[in-house]
Structure 1
Amino acid sequence: MPVKIGHALIIATALLTTACAKPMELPFDLGTVKMPDSLTGLLPDSLSDSMQAQHVKRHEAALNAAEPDHIVALNGDNNALFVLPEIPWPLDADKVDVTQKVHATWQNGQTADFEARLSLAPGHVRMVMLDPMGRRAMQINWSRTDLDFQRADWMPAAFDPARMLADLMMVYWPTEILRDALPSHMTLVSNPDTRQIAALDEDGDSTAYTDITYPAQDRWQGDASLSNIRDGYALHIRSSRIGTQ
Structure 2
Amino acid sequence: MEQNEVLKALQRDHAAELKLAAERLNGTARHTEIIPSPVLSEMTGHEILLKPENLQVTGSFKIRGAYNKIASLSDEQLAHGIVTASAGNHAQGVAYAARERGAKATICMPQITPPLKVDATKAYGADVVLYGEVFDESAAHAQELSDKEGMIYVPPFDDYEVLCGQGTIGLEILEDVPNVTDVVVPLGGGGLGAGVALAIKTFKPEVRVIGAIPEGSPAWKNSLSAGRVVPADEVRTSAEGVAVKRPGDLTFA
TM-score, with normalisation over the residues of structure 1? 0.33
Identify which of structures 1 and 2 has the higher relative contact order when contacts are C-alpha pairs closer than 8 Å and 6+ apart: 1
Which is strand-richer, 1 or 2?
A: 1
TM-score, with normalisation over the residues of structure 2? 0.32
Which is helix-richer, 1 or 2?
A: 2
